[in-house]
Amino acid sequence: MSIEVSEAGSDRNEGPGIVSPVFQTVVVGAKKVMLTMPWQKHTNPVTAFSVMGLFDRRRCGRLLNYGDAFVAHTRNTCADLFLGTDLEWMLTVDDDMIVPFGDANWFNAHTRFNLAPEFAGLNALDRLLSHGKTLVGALYFGRHELGRPMYGEGANIPREAEFARTAPLNLVKPTKWVGTGCMLVHRSVYLDIEKKFPRLARNGGRGGQWFSTSEHTAMDWIDRARKMLSEGPMTGEKAFKALEMLERASSEAHANSSLGMGEDVQFCTRAHNAGHQPFVDMGLLCGHIGSCVYGPRNTRHK
């Protein structure tokens, strides 16, 4: 795994495998953004070019984490490094996305989406920042013929999926979760998840676990029951209280368990529980590279 970090205004470029704690910051206005690339190893040149089009050194830092095949781990690493800076926002773009960066002709030529200029010519960073939401992502589809819209309701409700395939639409809507392929996150989301779920928080040299699979809520209730039962004599009232705690642990785990969830669903569920509503931007349409560039017109419901 290799990590390269550069903050806004810096030409510093560390060699592979080196994490530099030294940053130089240039602030323009109130918004400062870490442009984050949690890329496994190789990426499509079209992806790289579109991300390059987003980078503005006057307001953006750069963070590249590559060579880590464990996706939750690499996202956690990126979030940890981001929180070590004073930047306010993190825009994360995956290694198989084509994001609009302000050139409508280029975007349409490389996605073949043939979108109207007002949508194909969007700049993903400007567009997502303009909403003032602490957690908002672009609309994209799974990278296969039956690819679903990558947000909660679109992925699970056929009628909503049909609606999503009429995109782009000048609409930003709340959702249970939104895919991490092109997602803007305010730093307060990570901090509030840590407050809400201390087991997931950074601890000494251990990084945070914002995207990891964890039964943290169930373990909290189990620890409370264990502590209560270990103190003083056992009574029927204590036993009944312990049973209530374990039943609550079971109920909450059933409702919010991250086992079997994708890391994007896990993260958004935790963010929502910590007070941050996820949103999907139905007008910011990204391409998803598989055997072709997948989007609303060349995917279908099973």
Say which CATH number the domain at 280 has.
Answer: 3.90.550.40
Span 117-138, pLDDT tens digits: 999 999 999 999 999 999 999 9
CA–CA distance, 269 with 259 (Å, rounded to integer): 12
**Do 241 and 116 reside in the same domain of the chain?**
no
In this structure, is residue 224 part of a structural domain?
yes
Cα dihedral 35, 36, 42, 43 sign = negative
Number of domains the chain contains? 2
What is the per-residue pLDDT for 126?
96
pLDDT along the chain (302 residues), means of 10: 60 40 38 90 92 93 88 93 94 97 98 97 97 98 94 96 97 97 98 94 85 66 63 72 68 57 89 97 97 94 77
| 87: nearest Cα among 11, 10, 161, 12 | 10
Q: Give Dmax over CA atoms of the chain in angstroms.
A: 75
What is the per-residue pLDDT for 215?
53
**Do 46 and 132 reside in the same domain of the chain?**
yes
What is the per-residue pLDDT for 40?
85
**Do 99 and 74 reside in the same domain of the chain?**
yes
> Under a CB-based contact definition with an 8 Å cutoff, are residues 41 and 68 in contact?
no
Radius of gyration over every alpha carbon of the chain, rounded to an integer in angstroms = 21
* Pairing of the two strands 287-289 and 172-174: unpaired
Token digits of residue 134: 């602490």
**Do 145 and 220 reside in the same domain of the chain?**
no
Token digits of residue 29: 């206005």
**Do 118 and 252 reside in the same domain of the chain?**
no
**Do 188 and 252 reside in the same domain of the chain?**
no
**Do 231 and 265 reside in the same domain of the chain?**
no
CA–CA distance, 177 with 268 (Å, rounded to integer): 5
**Do 241 and 155 reside in the same domain of the chain?**
no
What is the per-residue pLDDT for 262?
80
CA–CA distance, 116 with 105 (Å, rounded to integer): 10
Helix axes 187-196, 71-83, angle to 10 degrees: 110
Domain that holds residue 79: 2-197+261-294
pTM reported for the whole predicted model: 0.80
**Do 27 and 116 reside in the same domain of the chain?**
yes
